[in-house]
Amino acid sequence: MGYLRIFNPHPVKTGDGAQAEDLLLEVHLRDPILQVEVGKFVSGTEMLHLAVLHSRKLCVYSVSGTLGNVEHGNQYQIKLMYEHNLQRTACNMTYGTFGDVKGRDLICIQSMDGMLMVFEQESYAFGRFLPGSLLPGPLAYSSRTDSFITVSSCRQVESYKYQVLAFATDADKRQETEQQKLGSGKRLVVDWTLNIGEQALDICIVSFNQSASSIFVLGERNFFCLKDNGQIRFMKKLDCSPSSFLPYCSVSEGTINTLIGNHNKMLHIYQDVTLKWATQLSHIPVAVRVGCLHDLKGVIVTLSDDGHLQCSYLGTDPSLFQAPKVESRELNYDELDKELKELQKLIKDVNKLQGVWPMTEKEDDLKVSALVSSNFDSVSQAPDIEVGTDLVPSVTVKVTLQNQVALQKAKLSVYVQPPLVLTCDQFTFEFMAPEMTKTVAFSVYLKGSYTPPELEGNAVVSYSRPTDRNPDGIPRVIQCKFRLPLKLICLPGQPSKTASHKLTIDTNKSPVSLLSLFPGFANQSEDDQVNVMGFRFLGGSRVTLLASKTSQRYRIQSEQFEDLWLITNELIIRLKEYFEKQGIKDFSCSFSGSVPLQEYFELIDHHFELRINGEKLEELLSERAVQFRAIQRRLLTRFKDKTPAPLQHLDTLLDGTYKQGWEETVDAAVSHLLKTCLSKSSKEQALTLGSQLDVPKDTSRLKKHITLLCDRLAKGGRLCLSTDAAAPPTMVMPGGCAPIPESDLEERSVEQESTELFTNHKHLIAETPMPEVPPLQGVAE
């Protein structure tokens, strides 16, 4: 429309709309305006002037102002200094110190037919046609190389030296007007070219230091950063169609920030090729600049195609109001400290009386205690269960709840490790009045032919305590642990002198009589200094425990590897309890042998083979399941109350027990540890585990992850994400493990799996929380 407007926005606060006094100058120039630039365009002065490019005219103006009595009384005028009438339709222009001139700027205009016209301020210098020009492209001037950079219709970036343009003579010496009209001249030689394969929207040349400059080209789908010689420094593929861009200085040395607007009304900020910020605009920015308005640096100025001008900022709200300086006064720290204590007391009283979270500093809402009977139940609560040839006993556990305040919806849940089971594991109390005591009892017994990983149980109570602000109650949880007697799953047995699997525990104290540690598991004829003791689990497995008479060692041995764990764990627990009662606090035990991973892996393979074979057998039996059920019922009738083991096994097959997924569950738990607290790099932490646990083809992946877990622990890994002093102690395993890398957990690869992984070192045995995984039937943890 030919309107030229100059704005000086000065809002009182952020978000203010346009004010009348923001518009300094508005003038109608009649002809459409293609481009405006500011530079030293008038001879005899180095003051800045305004160059306005029309389609057939170049005008240079001076802008001046007259101060009024008040701010809104200031007046601004625009005065035409000179103009050049163009014989060719203009497309765009650039300016600079062409030929390294001093104290003035020259202007170069590109016409629609590809001719460059150079003006030395008020005089026309020369005109040259770009070779092979079909459609004009963006144009920029590089002062460092004294070259013009453009993108031709051949979709390639081209560079032309100004000296080449200036010294190229015309074919014939014509008058200035005739030359400008006809444009006949000598063909130019390009300095360098780079094919980018797309049209360009804009070119910008930046140089923030004296050592190097960069040429930025905004394409239709990419933006490029080039060196002075045309080599690509970097490029970035854009997700959206761009509309404008602006490279500007970065706070990080050696990098350049770039603002890129697109047709999705978005503004992206890149640091080189890395996206650092993205923001939504209210319009499509066809032009973007960064300026300083009223001492506020980093203001982003955008212009839409319909004339909408917007000044924006990134991050927090800037302070546009500058408060006047006030006289400082001395601070009375005693009064401030007194006021702070009063406020803290007020906050504490409010939270105690009517806060959302009830205060329980002086009294507990609920106390939970558990008592395990020292004797077996006179009548076993196990429902006609036999493990091998042994009758299964049961023991009663009583859990007592003592509440000091009124509670709602209290629920008691009891957990024990399988194959231990409870006669009842859930108890519900809808309402408990203050000062009330509730006691529940249940029995625990063994249901299975394998040993549980531990004899510890857990009673968890979840309840709600009402408050003034929350009558429905605030949910809370409290728990209590209890230990079951070893004799519940184990009987005294005959010691064995030889065994296939042995484990030696070293201590720092003199050996203790095994009769003191395991009363009730020795013959009455034996003396107090018992150094050998036998254990027989329900089902027939035997374990022998030996205490050295001359050294501070204990040995656990058995014919089956999986039977070693429970007695070993009980020995360590009872040794600690024994020395704590003696007032000895520096007791420790250690293991100097190699970690028996190979034996453990053999058990895993055996379990997995039974599982796969069981699934195959179940598939074969599925078609005739009804007939097998009928046969089973007849056999059960014949055997009456005692069911032989083969029938129990058949019932297990028909019930689909083999469908439980131990291997994939443990693999997921171990993989979670390896990608969180035991990870070595951010690449491992970025891995995501699948939500679906599928049956693996074999156990190789699981064994590799277990080996890698032991290796990380041996090298000082912690099973805790916390790094403070209150974090659980590190589990230290025998060191020297060579990891078996996995493609998704390790960057390197190995050619074969190694079985000799651990060297013999002495390490302390520490109690460290392990991930929750189900026990392997027939194999202790």
What span, in angstroms and rounded, lies between the C-alpha atoms of 771 and 719? Answer: 9
Query: Could you report the per-residue pLDDT of 706-765, keeping only the tens digit for each?
Result: 998 888 888 888 776 544 433 433 333 333 333 333 333 333 333 333 333 333 334 444
What span, in angstroms and rounded, lies between the C-alpha atoms of 218 and 200? Answer: 6
Go through 626-648 and write b for each residue having 16 or more CB atoms within 10 A of its CB, e for each that does not: eeeeeeeeeeeeeeeeebeeeee
Residues 6 or more apart whose CB falls under 8 angstroms from that of 623 comprise none
CB of 198 within 8 A of CB of 168? no
What span, in angstroms and rounded, lies between the C-alpha atoms of 104 and 106? Answer: 7
* Three-state helix/strand/coil letters over 18-45: CCHHHEEEEEECCCCEEEEEEECCCCCC
What span, in angstroms and rounded, lies between the C-alpha atoms of 740 and 700? Answer: 10
Cis preceding linkage at 131, omega within 30: no
> Which element (helix H / strand E) includes 547?
strand 542-547
Mean pLDDT comparison of 222-231, 340-349, 746-755, highest-scoring range = 222-231
CB of 98 within 8 A of CB of 146? yes
Nearest Cα to Cα of residue 456 among 781, 777, 779: 781
Spacing of C-alpha 484 from chain mean position: 42
Planar angle of CA 751, 757, 758, nearest 5 degrees: 165
Predicted local confidence at residue 663, as pLDDT:
87
**Percent of the chain at pLDDT above 70?**
76
CB atoms inside a 10 Å sphere around CB 365: 16
Predicted local confidence at residue 88, as pLDDT:
92
> Which element (helix H / strand E) includes 350?
helix 333-354
Going by their DSSP bridges, the two strands 256-262 and 266-271 should be labelled as antiparallel
Predicted local confidence at residue 435, as pLDDT:
80
Statement: residue 355 has pLDDT above 50: no
Question: For the residues 247-262, what does the mean pLDDT come to?
Answer: 85
Nearest Cα to Cα of residue 54 among 89, 78, 87, 81: 89
Question: For the residues 235-247, what does the mean pLDDT come to?
Answer: 92
Statement: residue 237 has pLDDT above 60: yes
Predicted local confidence at residue 171, as pLDDT:
30
Query: Residue 544 — pLDDT band, cuts 50, 70, 90?
Result: very high
Q: How many residues does the chain have?
A: 781
Residue with tokens 């009064």: 335
Distances (CA, A) of 198 to 113, 130, 139, 169, 223: 20, 19, 16, 33, 10
Query: Residue 256 — pLDDT band, cuts 50, 70, 90?
Result: confident
Nearest Cα to Cα of residue 203 among 116, 265, 137, 130: 137
Q: How many CA atoms lie within 13 A of 298 on its CB side?
A: 11
Statement: residue 278 has pLDDT above 70: yes
Q: What are 21's two structure tokens?
A: 């006094």
Distances (CA, A) of 286 to 54, 272, 290, 667: 19, 22, 14, 55
DSSP, res 577? H
Go through 312-347 and write b for each residue having 16 or more CB atoms within 10 A of its CB, e for each that does not: beeeeeeeeeeeeeeeeeeeeeeeeeeeeeeeeeee
Dihedral of the CA atoms 611, 613, 618, 624 (nearest 10)? Answer: -160
Burial (0-12, 13-18, 19+ Cβ within 10 Å), 705: buried
What span, in angstroms and rounded, lies between the C-alpha atoms of 652 and 658? Answer: 8
Dihedral of the CA atoms 520, 525, 531, 537 (nearest 10)? Answer: -40
Residue with tokens 């955008």: 302
Query: Residue 195 — pLDDT band, cuts 50, 70, 90?
Result: very high
What span, in angstroms and rounded, lies between the C-alpha atoms of 573 and 579? Answer: 10
In the predicted model, what is the mean pLDDT of the chain? 79
Predicted local confidence at residue 622, as pLDDT:
59
Residues 6 or more apart whose CB falls under 8 angstroms from that of 520 comprise 487, 492
Going by their DSSP bridges, the two strands 200-206 and 192-195 should be labelled as unpaired
CB of 100 within 8 A of CB of 110? no
The SS3 call for residue 629 is helix
Predicted local confidence at residue 687, as pLDDT:
59
Query: Could you report the per-residue pLDDT of 42-99, keeping only the tens digit for each?
Result: 988 889 999 999 999 999 999 988 877 666 678 889 999 999 999 999 999 999 999 8
What span, in angstroms and rounded, lies between the C-alpha atoms of 485 and 146? Answer: 92
Planar angle of CA 668, 673, 678, nearest 5 degrees: 150
Statement: residue 167 has pLDDT above 60: yes
* Three-state helix/strand/coil letters over 74-123: CEEEEEEEEEEECCCCEEEEEEECHHHCCCCCEEEEEECCCEEEEEECCE
Distances (CA, A) of 763 to 48, 552, 588, 595, 735: 79, 15, 10, 11, 9
Query: Could you report the per-residue pLDDT of 615-634, keeping only the tens digit for each?
Result: 666 666 555 555 555 665 66
Statement: residue 11 has pLDDT above 50: yes
What span, in angstroms and rounded, lies between the C-alpha atoms of 753 and 755? Answer: 7
Helices (H), 149-189: 162-167, 176-182
> Which element (helix H / strand E) includes 50?
strand 49-54
The SS3 call for residue 651 is helix
> Which element (helix H / strand E) includes 649?
helix 645-655
